[in-house]
Amino acid sequence: MWGGRFDEAPDAVMRAINASLPFDKVMWRQDIAASRAHAEMLAAQGIVSAVDVAAIDAGLAQLAEEFERDGPPDGDDEDIHMAVEARLTALIGPAAGRLHTARSRNDQVATDFRLWVRDAIDRASAAIGAMRAALLDRAEQHADAVMPGFTHLQSAQPVTLGHHLMAWLEMLVRDASRFTDARARANQSPLGSAALAGTGFPVDRHATAQALGFDGPTANSLDSVSDRDFAIEFLTAATQCALHLSRMAEEIVIWASQPFGFVDLPDRWSTGSSIMPQKRNPDAAELVRGHSGRIMGCLTALMVTMKGLPLAYSKDMQDDKEPVFEAAGMLQVSLAAMTGMVRELTFRTDRMRTLAESGFATATDLADWLVREADVPFREAHHIVGRAVKLAEERGCGLPELPLADLQSIDARIDDRVFDVLTIDASVASRTSHGGTAPVRVREAIAAARAALESS
Ligand code: ARG
């Protein structure tokens, strides 16, 4: 491409370190789409003849069919942009050489990459939507199922499984909005910024932006070819989402352990052991947890690549793509695996209920009752209930099984109405504050979340 200035061919190692075709070939669709938009504009503006542009456009259409059929190009070309131009030249001859008028690979790669990231955002958003739908179904199914709620992974207060699954959903709602925000900022067209300074040809950047579905052209040619914020923002949203999936996956791992026994992993989502015949391992959940670390690593990699670069383009920026491609793939498979597990896990609600009843989970309810019914200051009530828990522990029973006489020996203001609040069902039903675990609130939250998902 630049033979005019050079006498010698590049060293083999130079070619190896310089080549990006092995990974950037996945952008072939975006490269062809951007080239077709550019060519149309060149004809409309009278920069290249309609005859040449017709040949270019037909050639690019033919290449698209070829790559669709046989897979993207590989070979000795440096990158996907060179490979497409080389194939086009082979197909249509010298007219192909007019395509690169008023364009540089710097604005070309910035455009292709934005288009690729935009598609990746749309794929992630759709996958998050599918997981939200799966969570809503399971939350609805288990809106009343009581399970232990934890702090410090110690039994704290009873909650419902529906409420817990809706907590997962909230994380995904925020993730979806982060991807939506990232998309809005990414959707600007750098095409026509050329190498760094813009071009003297009378290009119509608004027309190419529109043809490619961008909201408009970027404002500054230097920034256009230097900016990789869109990729970093995609990775930031992906990292945050992966972090959420990792926490959910960790809960599945804990819940599937024998001491917990909250879920049975279906065969379809577990693996066995080559030595221990009884094993059923939560590998998919563990790998979701594992992938999150790598996705975070991709974000770090790109930020570190970018942080010291002067404007405008530096070849370091060719290293922007692999972390994005890799993270996008890992996020997609993680979301699909989590969605599958959410749909197909068997929740052992009987076991959850048994464990919710242990661990004095309604101790706060007893303290609240003393505050409400006997006008005891909360701190004092806390102390009284602490003594009741200690007594129950000594007796080897739960709080609801303590005889009234025992409770009254601790505090005479307690009467038999207290037993109404000591069951786990009464406990969750009482938590009716906005966002609370009471089944009535959880059902409202599910209905609102369904409406939000349908309108998104
Ligand atoms: N393969 C390059 C990349 O991915 C394309 C841009 C090359 N531009 C240049 N001036 N060398 O960044």
Round to whole Å and give the CA distance between 399 and 422. 7
For the chain, give the mean pLDDT: 96
**Separation of 107 CA from ligand 1 center, angstroms?**
9
Bridge pairing between strands 263-264 and 346-347: antiparallel
Pocket test for ligand 1, best of 27, 81, 315, 319 (most atoms within 8 A of CB): 315
> CA–CA distance from 189 to each of 147, 223, 279 (Å)?
51, 12, 53
pLDDT in tens, 354-393: 999 988 888 999 999 999 999 999 999 999 999 999 999 9
Burial profile 94-126: b = 16 or more Cβ within 10 angstroms, e = fewer: ebbebbebbbbbbbbbbbbbbbbbbebbebbbe
Atom of ligand 1 nearest to the CA of 321: 4
Residue list, ligand 1 pocket, CB within 6 Å: 20, 24, 79, 105-106, 109, 313, 315, 317-318
Q: What is the pLDDT of residues 192-220, one digit of tens each?
A: 999 999 999 999 999 999 999 999 999 99
pTM of the model: 0.94
Nearest to 79 by CA among 57, 112, 101, 127: 112
Pocket test for ligand 1, best of 28, 109, 116 (most atoms within 8 A of CB): 109
Mean pLDDT, rounded, for 92-109: 98
Q: What's the confidence (pLDDT) of residue 64? A: 98
Which ligand 1 atom sits closest to the C-alpha of 20?
A: 1
Rg (CA), the chain: 30
Q: What is the mean pLDDT of residues 14-35?
A: 97
Distance, in Å, from the CA atom of 137 to the CA atom of 135, rounded to the nearest integer, reads 5
In the three-class reduction of DSSP (H, G, I as helix; E, B as strand; rest coil), residue 236 is classed as helix
Nearest CA to ligand 1 atom 2: 318
Positive or negative: CA dihedral 352, 441, 341, 285: negative
Question: What 3-state DSSP class applies to 154?
Answer: strand
Give catalytic residues, as residue numbers. 152, 273
| Stronger pLDDT, 274 or 292, i.e. the higher one | 292
Cβ 180 vs Cβ 157: under 8 Å:
no
Spatial distance between the Cα atoms of 149 and 105, rounded to a whole number of angstroms: 55
Is 297 exposed, middle or buried, given 0-12, 13-18 or 19+ CB atoms closer than 10 A? middle
What's the CA gap between 137 and 367, in Å, rounded?
Answer: 35
Give the model's confidence band at 274: pLDDT under 50 very low, under 70 low, under 90 confident, else very high: confident
Q: With 80 as the cut, is the pLDDT of residue 2 above it?
A: no
- CA 269, CA 119: separation in Å to the nearest integer? 28
